[in-house]
Amino acid sequence: MNFPSNIFNSHSKEDGDFFLGITNILGFKPKDIKIYKKAFLHRSANKKDKNGNPMNYERLEFLGDAMLGTIISKHIYKEVPAGDEGYLTKMRSKIVSRKHLNELGKDLNLIHYVESRIPKSHFGDNIHGNVFEALVGAIYLDRGYKYCEKFIDDRVIEPYVDIEQLEGKVISYKSLLIEWCQKQKKDFRYNIYEDTGKDPLKHFAVKFSINGKVMAKARATSKKKAEEKASKRAFFALQHKIEKS
């Protein structure tokens, strides 16, 4: 199904509300509102352009991810002149982590503008970060690098980026624990099994053990989340030992 050629130039209340809402989020007026409409199109809407190509936010998400990484990299490079490549990469990863991007998308209530055939209550957390990246991609196409940089500065760097705080922020408790166990030559294991119980969604449970002793347990809707949750609990149980080593 193709969009009618005049759909984005109409003056319906819905279009007007979208334009005003996006303008408020951006801090400036869009030149081509069609690009921003595409940034909020979920693939389930099954829209196509005049050439039959799928229209959804995923290509803009790809572009926005690249722009976000470039602009954040530039900021860290300027702010931390003594940082080596490894340090700069680590700091950028913390700022553009999936969890952080999801928080940004939630703060801006971007899901409100998503067009989808799926009820919004059925989306996972990643929809928030995905649409945020798509919005960044749309800004770049519509207004260029300078406006994109200003948006990221105003919405990401100024309110959220504190280098000193980020230096102490743990990205992955699992990675931290594995690294510590390997340095200390300790045997560690993640034992995972399905534990749906009475929940409508499939859950996984995990036991994290060191040298045969169970240090923490957790359950979540994915194996990865369950492992990270158990790792976090184990980290705080072992924090004194880890920090002394």
Task: State the amino acid at position 101 in one-letter form.
Answer: L
Q: What is the spatial order of strands in the sheet that 204-210 belongs to?
A: 188-194, 204-210, 213-220
What per-residue string of b and e applies to 171-198 under the rule 16 or more CB within 10 Å gives b? eebbebbeebbeeeeeebebebeeeeee
H-helix segments, the chain:
13-26, 33-38, 58-79, 85-95, 98-107, 126-143, 145-152, 158-160, 163-167, 173-183, 223-244
Instruction: Report the CATH number at residue 194.
Output: 3.30.160.20
**pLDDT (tens digit per residue) in 18-65:** 999 999 999 999 999 999 999 999 999 899 988 999 899 999 999 999
What total of structural domains would you count in the chain?
Answer: 2
What are the catalytic residues?
A: 65, 133
Residue 98 resides in a domain: yes
Same domain for 190 and 111? no
What is the average per-residue pLDDT within 176-205? Answer: 85
Other beta carbons less than 10 A from residue 32's beta carbon: 13
Residue 2 inside a domain? The answer is no
Residue 131: the pLDDT is 97
Is 179 within the bounds of a domain?
yes
> Are 215 and 127 in a shared domain?
no
Mean pLDDT score of the chain? 88
Is 120 contained in some domain? yes
* CATH code of residue 79: 1.10.1520.10
153 and 177 belong to one structural domain: no
Is there a domain that residue 227 lies in?
A: yes
Q: Which of 105, 106, 154 is nearest to 134 (CA)?
A: 105
Containing 218, the helix (H) or strand (E) segment is strand 213-220
Verify that 130 and 188 share a domain, yes or no: no
pLDDT digits (tens, 9 = 90+) for 91-129: 898 889 888 899 999 999 999 999 999 988 889 899 999
Is the pLDDT assigned to residue 2 strictly greater than 50?
A: no
Kindly state whether residues 210 and 225 are assigned to the same domain: yes
155 and 127 in a common domain: yes
Instruction: Clarify whether residues 115 and 192 are in a common domain.
Output: no
Element (H, E) at 216: strand 213-220
Point out the domain boundary residue: 103, 138, 166: 166
Whether residues 150 and 115 fall in one domain: yes
What is the spatial distance between Cα 60 and Cα 43, in angstroms, rounded to a whole number?
12
* Whether residue 161 is found in the same domain as residue 179: no
1 found inside a domain:
no
Of 145, 166, 187, the residue at which a domain comes to its end is 166
Whether residues 234 and 115 share a domain: the answer is: no
The torsion angle over the Cα atoms of residues 49, 53, 55 and 56, rounded to 10 degrees, is -170
Of 139, 166, 193, the last residue of a domain is 166
Query: Residue 183 pLDDT more than 70?
Result: yes
Q: How far is CA 92 from the centre of its chain?
A: 13
| Residue owning tokens 């702010």 | 79
- Looking at the domain assignment, is residue 114 inside a domain? yes
Range of the domain at 134: 7-166
SS3 category, 40: coil
Same domain, yes or no: 219 and 147: no
CA 7 to chain CA mean position, Å: 30
Query: Terminus-to-terminus CA distance in the chain, angstroms?
Result: 61
Q: Do both 113 and 194 map to the same domain?
A: no
Q: Residue 46 falls within a domain, yes or no?
A: yes
- The reported pTM is 0.66
